[in-house]
Each structure stands twice: as structure tokens, then as C-alpha cells.
Homo-oligomer: A and B are copies of this chain.
Amino acid sequence: MNGSGTAPAVPRPAYRRLSVEQRRSQLLAAALGLFAQRAPEDVSLDDVATAAEVSRPLVYRYFPGGKQQLYEAALRSAADQLERCFAEPDSGPLTQRLSHALDRYLAFVDEHDAGFSALLQGGSVVETSRTSAIVDEVRRAAAEQILRHLGEPEPGLRLRMTVRMWITAVEAASLIWLDEGKRPPLDELRDWLVDHFVALLTATAARDEQTARITRAALALETAAGPVGDLARRILPVADGAAHLL
């Protein structure tokens, strides 16, 4: 067919000389791109070769364990990306730090789409105790970051539970968000999740002295123009008819 087709010849990109690490990263990026569009069981090593514009034997050389090895490596790479999302400098109001980290996390969810859902929804054929352990490691890393920002070196049971409950709720919100055609808009979702964090922390503070201390310190750093001031002013009219409770 060379030279005889009607379509203009598309120049193939010159074969790129990549290091082993670069090549591996390229293949994993291609795999993550495919996982974002289809169920993990529907992504073959051949698809990755096509997407990365490399030969099939090359992909098989990097992932001799086949589909399962590819999936676990892609998951490992996604988990590393996610853990980097959580890193945030120790300055400014807590809600601002949380907003920044959530912006990065939600951008990750947006980009990885179906791959993110498949990973968390369970029941997939590629799910194993190893993949579950990687997902749990990401949750633990998120909890550690939040506890670090709360400035409590020895967090008690209730504070730890609250943080982990919020993280799970954020995961659930992310899945529903993908399911619902990415509504509400990302910035609204982010602000709302921050509100939920403040609400959960305050509710726990009502019953736990350590959380109360941390919450008071965190509130002192917030401003009237910031998210907590906004939340407080919006809640007042809702609580208006509840004077009989005090």
C-alpha cells in the first residue's frame, strides 16, 4: 500500500531513545489514559502498544506478567501521583490548605475518570489484596497529611476517625460526581467538601476535648472573608428557627 493510498502520508514520530525509566513512565501514562476511558479488564497490552506508538514486544518486555502486572504498575504510579497531591505547605488558614490539596485531588479524579471509579468500586477482576493495599496506603497518606496540618502529634481515636470518615466521604463524593456527569462544577464541589470537613470537625469537637482544642486553634486562623466565615453566615438563617433547642 506504500505510496498508493489516497490519505497523505502521516510522518511517524522518529523512534525516541528513552531510558528504561522514561520508557516505563511513557507506557504507564499510556495505560492510565486507557484506564480513564474503559474498564481495566478491557485494556490489553496491545492497546497500550498502540496508544504509546511502540511495538507490542516492547510492552511485553516491560510487563512480562501481562495485564495484571500492567494494572498494578499503573495503580502504583497513580497512587504516587495522588500522594504528591496531598503535600501542602504549613501556612495560612487550614481551609485554604485543604482547598489547595482538594483542587489537586479533584483534578486527578477528573483526569483519571473511569479508572478512578473502577479502582474504588471493587469487584473488578484485576482487584487483588495487593491493589486494595495500595488504595489503603493512599487513604492512610491522606489521613496523615491532614493530621499533620491539624498539628496534633498524638491524635486520639475520635480525631483519627473523623479524618478517615471525611476522606471516605470525599471518595464517595468523587465517585458520585463522575457518575452524575461531573456535576456540580469542580470549584463548588471543592468548597462544599471543605464545608463538610469544618462541619464534621466541629461536631466531633462537641464531644472530644482534643478535637475541641484543635478546632478552636484552626478557627482562630480563619477570616470572615474566608470559607468558614462564609459558611457561618449561610448557616445562621437555617438555624434561625432552632432557638428552642438552646
Residues of A within 8 A of B (CB): 121-124, 127-133, 135, 157-158, 160-161, 164-169, 171-173, 176-177, 180, 183-184, 188, 191-192, 195-196, 198-200, 202-207, 212, 215-216, 219-220, 222-224, 226, 228-229, 231-242, 244-246
Contact = CB atoms under 8 A, between A and B. Distances in A.
B195 A219 contact: no
B169 A166 contact: yes
Nearest to A208: B192
A167 B165 CA distance: 10
23 contacts: A121-B132, A122-B132, A123-B129, A123-B132, A157-B184, A161-B176, A165-B173, A167-B172, A168-B168, A192-B203, A195-B204, A196-B203, A198-B203, A199-B202, A203-B231, A205-B238, A206-B238, A215-B238, A219-B239, A219-B241, A220-B242, A224-B244, A232-B242
B245 A228 contact: yes
6 closest A-B pairs (Cβ-Cβ)?
A123-B132, A206-B234, A199-B203, A168-B172, A199-B199, A165-B169
Contacts of A233: 246
Contacts of A245: 219, 222-224, 226, 228-229, 232
